[in-house]
């Protein structure tokens, strides 16, 4: 029944086999009967909750036993739902879907906590130290040195503001549970706004940005896409090496059904381990180092996913990196030549 609904399943004949399979595979959800030979459902549940890698996996108990004491004991041990036989297909699927959504939310909240504790703390500590040092240098009359620290303080403040923006955007995307209405995008205007947001960073990095004369027209939401471009541009500026050359592009793919957009830098690129780390899902972001790319890429994945697209990165050591995203296409339009000569324009 579940496989017909698109789920991948792994079966076990009893609690002993089920526990071993769960430890080996770490499933998204465990569905268990209560009365089983060898190890029953309640004992299995107790063992799952005692296993570090499995304690947060949702467990749904299904049984013909309807005694309140059994149900209460299951809930005390940490069961996420209790379904009595006979049951309907919709009842089970709804329970699984609700458990997965709840687990996703809890994982995201955990990643949120890590981001607030880590991504905000580091630039805040730098900002405080730079301002303290600048105050001392100013009192000593060392104006030029103090001005240098002021520049660094501004960069730390910019990073703080960027992280806060990312958190606010993610919170807004997370609240939008309903289907998002996508409209044809003026991608040139979207990119203009994104470049305006990162203009100071681009100038500090002495970055040059080239953009195409023709953009494919895609379906999406402009305010969200501004954040996607802002994140990709910021990463290219920060990781593209000295005076990076950043190239923006777009093309139609899959017989014109998909529009792909990208930001290409000429930095050192990413090896296989680096690629793996920048592609971790949000619920693992708190335990993975992503080489300074931060929570922004996980937010980009959620935004593009909400809009019916996908994201990716192509890179090799020594050849730079190309971060891309795809959206449903709506044709293309000539918007004129827009190849800037000044950084950040």
- How far is 114 from 84, CA to CA, in rounded Å? 39
- Does domain 183-334 bear CATH number 3.40.50.150? no
Dmax of the chain from CA atoms? 82
Task: Dig out the tokens for 313 from the structure.
Answer: 């990165």
What is d(CA 248, CA 244) in angstroms, rounded to the nearest whole number? 13
Instruction: Yes or no: say if 11 and 28 are a contact pair by the CB < 8 Å rule.
Output: no
Query: Which value, in Å, is the radius of gyration of the alpha carbons in the chain?
Result: 25
pLDDT, position 289: 38
- Give me the helices (H) in the chain, please: 15-25, 41-50, 68-77, 89-118, 121-139, 143-175, 187-197, 199-204, 222-239, 272-278, 296-306
Give pLDDT, residue 144.
76
Rounded to the nearest 5°, which phi and psi values hold at 89? -60, -45
Alpha helix positions (H), 177-293? 187-197, 199-204, 222-239, 272-278
Regarding the domain with residue range 3-103, which homologous superfamily does it belong to in the CATH classification? Answer: Response regulator (3.40.50.2300)
Distance CA 124, CA 185 (A): 36
Contacts of residue 194, defined as CB under 8 A and 6 or more positions apart, other chains included, come to 226, 227, 229, 230, 233
How far is 57 from 245, CA to CA, in rounded Å?
Answer: 45
| pLDDT at res. 331 | 54
Nearest residue to 258 via CA among 314, 313, 194, 332? 332
pLDDT tens readout for residues 59-103: 999 888 677 888 888 888 889 898 888 888 899 999 998 998 888
Calculate the alpha carbon distances from 340 to 6, 196, 220, 229, 235 in Å: 48, 13, 25, 17, 19
Rounded to whole angstroms, the Cα distance separating 213 from 191 reads 13
pLDDT for residue 216:
92
pTM of structure: 0.56
Q: How do the domains of the chain map onto residue ranges?
A: 3-103, 119-175, 183-334
3 state SS of 284: helix
Q: What is the rounded CA–CA span in Å between residue 255 and residue 249?
A: 18
233: Cα within 13 Å, side-chain hemisphere = 32
Mark the ranges of the chain whose per-residue pLDDT is less than 50: 178-179, 282-293, 332-345
User: What is the model's pLDDT at position 334?
Assistant: 39
Tokens coding 97: 């879907």
Query: Hey, what are 115's tokens?
Result: 């981001």
Distance between CA atoms of 278 and 295, rounded to whole angstroms?
10
How many angstroms separate the CA atoms of 153 and 130, rounded? 6
Distance in angstroms (rounded) separating the CA atoms of residues 40 and 303: 42
Q: For the chain, how many residues are written? A: 345
In the numeric block, the tokens 């399979």 are attached to 21
């Amino acid at each position: 029944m579940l496989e017909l609904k698109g789920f991948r399943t792994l079966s076990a004949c009893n609690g002993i086999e089920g526990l071993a399979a769960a430890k080996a595979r770490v499933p998204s959800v465990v569905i268990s009967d209560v009365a089983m030979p060898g190890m029953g459902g309640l004992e299995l549940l107790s063992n799952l909750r005692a296993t570090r890698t499995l304690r947060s996996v949702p467990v749904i108990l299904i049984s013909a036993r309807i005694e309140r004491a059994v149900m209460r004991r299951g809930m005390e041990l940490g069961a996420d739902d209790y379904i009595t036989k006979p049951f309907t297909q919709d009842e089970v699927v709804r329970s699984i879907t609700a458990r997965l959504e709840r687990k996703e939310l809890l994982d995201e909240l955990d990643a949120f906590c890590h981001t607030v504790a880590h991504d905000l703390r580091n630039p805040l500590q730098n900002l405080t130290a730079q301002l303290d040092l600048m105050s001392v240098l100013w009192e000593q009359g060392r104006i030029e040195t103090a001005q240098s620290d002021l520049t660094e303080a501004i960069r730390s403040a910019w990073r703080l503001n960027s992280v806060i923006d990312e958190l606010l955007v993610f919170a807004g995307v997370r609240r939008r549970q309903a289907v998002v209405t996508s409209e044809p995008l003026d991608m040139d205007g979207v990119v203009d706004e994104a470049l305006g947001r990162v203009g100071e960073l681009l100038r500090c990095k002495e970055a040059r940005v080239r953009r195409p004369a023709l953009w494919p027209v895609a379906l999406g939401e402009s305010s969200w896409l501004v954040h996607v471009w802002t994140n990709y541009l910021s990463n290219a500026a920060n990781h593209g090496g000295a005076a990076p050359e950043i190239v923006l592009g777009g093309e139609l793919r899959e017989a014109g059904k998909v529009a792909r957009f990208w930001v290409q830098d000429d930095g050192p690129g990413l090896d296989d381990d680096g690629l793996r780390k920048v592609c971790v899902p949000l619920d693992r972001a708190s335990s993975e180092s992503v080489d300074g790319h931060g929570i922004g890429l996980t937010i980009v994945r959620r935004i593009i996913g909400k809009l019916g697209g996908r994201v990716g990165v192509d890179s090799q050591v020594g050849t730079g990196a190309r971060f891309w995203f795809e959206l449903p296409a709506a044709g293309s339009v000539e918007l004129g030549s827009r190849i800037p000569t000044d950084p950040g324009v």
